[in-house]
Amino acid sequence: MRILDVFLLSWRQLKERRLRSVLTILAVAVGVATIVALSAQVEGVSTTVIESLGKLGPDTIIVSVRGMTPFNDADVARLRGLEGVLKVTPVFIMNVRASGLQDQATLVGVSSVDLVDFLGDIKISQGSVFYDVPAPQALIGYNIAFDEAGQELYRPGQPLLVQIGQRPLMLTVVGVLDSYGAPMIQAVQPDNAIFIPIEYVGNLVRGGRYTVMIVKAVDTDSVDQVSELIGYVFGGRATVTSVKYITETVIRITSQINLLVLGIAGTSFIAAGLGTLNIMMISVLERVREIGIFKALGMKDRGVLSLYMIQGLLIGLLGSLVGIGFGYALTYLIPSILGSFGGFGMGPARTGAATSLYTPIVSPLYVSIATATSVAITLLSSAYPAWRASRLRPVEALRYE
């Protein structure tokens, strides 16, 4: 019998038990859709984080205060004198209360020249960047300037009252940043930050006035060596983290999460495999007489074996196609669902529309893995029923008269 005839006969047998076949195909599709959708979320988050870190540069090292004693000018000078250090950007960070806002804001003192090292890129929506003078100027984040309904709270030229502990501080807004969305360094989110000149920080605090120092190495190859030198110089006073190390860690973690996703989807494939085994065994029992007739007409054992193996192949392929379609739909639905709960949704003006801080990325690799796994599972589940069918003899059909 020609292979095309075997395909057509297999397809006809599946169509005869349409509901049962559809349910089995859907069981296979669940596992495929799970892999496609969840791996796309992981890849999207990973790419977004790596791109954000890339704006700072792989040669960047973040030195944070450990404890209550901040850094001072002598610490900055000491860092600048280390071998392999190209540039040091001192930054002051403090949580404050701002007038008209329910949540805390982050006060960030940094030089306007070094602001790009902190943000990665400067996106101005209104006004301009502050001047590097000891004056109460403020460049505010998008969520400071606009409330959740999109109404403008502050614009350039208006005063902004900030509460630092028990001390009120009046700042003049000189500019508004565009929306950044994701945090860039530590817990600082540019959308919820108030940037002031580092020269003015001296009027707010005494002694040490820097909580973070962003260090640029001369090249990427020097990052590890410079990180070790900084750790040796400051000891337990500082936490030293390189963007290069964070990026490598993110890649490792996302790879492990994707393996976890594959493991979770594997449970769905187990159910799909058992369902395929069940439907194939029932199909063999229902068609004993038909198989006997095929054998009497000259069909070989391998022909019967191929008949049922092809049925398993069709179930796997159809389940993969349906699962990929569902997976693509879920891929872009999941961020919207999470955004509606506020976990990931924060649009430019926080109007309540669920927008995502990341864009899911469907990986062809995981689509291929899902497809190959589904086909392999259905073929494996069809092997025993196909073997049983191939071993039947024409005389056995008489038992089912």
In a domain? residue 227:
no
Tell me which residue of 203, 212, 209, 243 sits closest to 226, measured CA to CA.
Answer: 243
**42 and 71 in one domain?**
no
Question: What is residue 141's three-state secondary structure?
Answer: coil
Q: Is there a contact between 129 and 139 (Cβ–Cβ < 8 Å)?
A: yes
Asked whether residue 160 falls in the same domain as residue 214, the answer is yes
Q: Is 385 a member of any domain?
A: yes
Angle between helix axes 3-16 and 18-56 (nearest 10 degrees) is: 100
pLDDT at residue 48 in the model: 78
Q: 130 and 70 share a domain?
A: yes
CA–CA separation, 245 vs 379, rounded Å?
43
* Residues 6 or more apart whose Cβ sits within 8 Å of residue 334: 37, 41, 360
Give the end of a domain, one of 164, 198, 218: 218
Same domain, 44 and 128: no
Element (H, E) at 34: helix 18-56
User: In this predicted structure, what is the pLDDT of residue 172?
Assistant: 92
Do the bridges between strand 159-164 and strand 85-98 make them parallel or antiparallel, or are there none, so unpaired?
Answer: antiparallel
3-state secondary structure at position 148: coil
Question: Given the structure tokens 């944070």, which residue do they identify?
Answer: 64
Q: Is residue 42 part of a domain?
A: yes
- Asked whether residue 236 is assigned to any structural domain, the reply reads no
For 239, the 3-state DSSP assignment is strand
Neighbour-count burial of 194, counting CB atoms closer than 10 A to its CB (0-12 exposed, 13-18 middle, 19+ buried): buried
CA distances from 309 to 2, 55, 348, 381, 397 (A): 15, 52, 54, 9, 21
Residues 189, 75 share a domain: yes
Domain assignment present for 238: no
Name every residue whose Cβ is closer than 8 Å to that of residue 230 and which is 6 or more positions away in sequence: 61, 63, 79, 82, 215, 238, 240
276 DSSP 8-state letter:
H
162 plus 262 within the same structural domain? no
- Residues 43, 77 within the same domain: no
Give the chain's domain count.
Answer: 2
Q: Residue 199 is part of which domain span?
A: 60-218
188 close to 52: Cβ distance less than 8 angstroms? no
Same domain, residue pair 112 and 28: no
Residue 87 counted as domain residue = yes
Burial class (CB in 10 A: 0-12, 13-18, 19+), 166: exposed
Structural domain ending residue among the three candidates 175, 201, 218: 218
Does residue 138 lie within any of the structural domains?
A: yes
Residue 278 structure tokens: 């069940």
* pLDDT number for residue 60: 86
Residue 65 shares a structural domain with residue 13: no
- Residue 239 counted as domain residue: no
| Domain end point (choices 218, 242, 259) | 218
The verdict on 351 and 394 lying in the same domain is yes
pLDDT in tens, the chain (401 residues): 566 767 777 778 777 778 888 888 898 999 899 899 988 888 888 887 777 777 677 888 888 888 778 888 888 899 988 888 898 888 888 888 888 787 788 899 888 888 887 777 788 888 999 988 888 999 999 888 888 777 888 889 999 998 887 788 899 999 999 887 655 554 578 888 999 998 888 777 765 678 888 888 888 888 888 888 998 888 888 888 888 888 888 888 888 888 888 887 778 888 888 888 888 888 887 777 777 777 777 778 777 888 888 888 889 999 999 999 999 999 988 887 766 655 444 444 444 333 456 788 898 998 999 999 999 999 998 888 888 877 777 655 555 54
pLDDT at residue number 348:
40
Please tell me the total number of residues recorded for the chain in this structure: 401
Q: Are residues 20 and 37 in the same domain?
A: yes
Q: Does residue 64 share a domain with residue 37?
A: no
Angle, helices 288-296/243-286, rounded to nearest 10 degrees: 80
Give the C-alpha separation, 81 to 87, whole Å: 10
Distance from CA of residue 150 to its chain's centroid?
Answer: 27
